[in-house]
Amino acid sequence: MGRTAGIGFAIARRLLADGTSVLIHAWPAPEQDVLDELRAVGPQLAWLEADFGDPEAPRRVIEHAVGKLGAVDVLVANHARSSNVALADVTAQELDAVWAVNARAVVLLVQAYAELHDDSRPDGRVVLFTSGQHLGPMAGELPYAASKGAVHQMTRSLADALAGRGITVNAVNPGPVDTGWPSEELRERLRPAFPSGRWGRPDDIAPVVAWLASAESAWLNGQVIDAEGGFRR
């Protein structure tokens, strides 16, 4: 999470506003305005720069969070490496790089979280992020779709692995969210596909994550939530 326009920023802002202590991870380091705006919401903020292409980085993030905050109750893995590569241009290097960040790092984050989680603290929560690859083709983003498909499929198995410890694992598919990446042509072309007449916004997703991170979501486990505003493919 490195920009104020991103989903990660909206999630962190919402959790801080709810009184939660938050550690944010970014690669590269977050912009200064990100830290300034979040600290204005809640002072209980820490951050760490780490490249999830490094297999040791996920554990460092969790260990840093425990060291700074004393414990980690909630893990939100909303990081992603984009890859606008179609089949004809796919390389082994690109597949490996996207897989390492988007799928491998998720498993290693959850592993480290599970090892360091204090089970005497109630309501452990893991919230993962997938994409819309299970609802429609993403042929122009093949490495990304494959890696996010893996996150989708691992959600139920990770949930089962941790269910006996009072830790739930769910995932969110936010659908198309305007974080500044789409062109004006794409914005206008897809706008009619949203019943509300607008793209998703980061602040549409943050409340969903906040609920999944709360005690109120205890009866939901191993699920992938399509929080797309009724997006019509």
Active site residues: 144
> Whole-angstrom Cα distance, residue 27 to residue 1?
7
Sole residue written with tokens 């720069």 = 49
92-112 burial, b at 16+ Cβ within 10 Å, e below that, comes to eebbebbbbbbbbbbbbbbeb
**CB of 12 within 8 A of CB of 204?**
no
Pair of tokens at residue 171: 């995932």
Count of residues making up the chain: 233
- Given its phi and psi angles, is residue 153 left (phi above 0), alpha (psi -120 to 50 degrees) or beta? alpha
The four Cα atoms 107, 73, 14, 219 give a dihedral, to 10 degrees, of 80
Q: How far is CA 142 from CA 39, 77, 80, 98, 107, in A?
A: 37, 21, 14, 10, 20
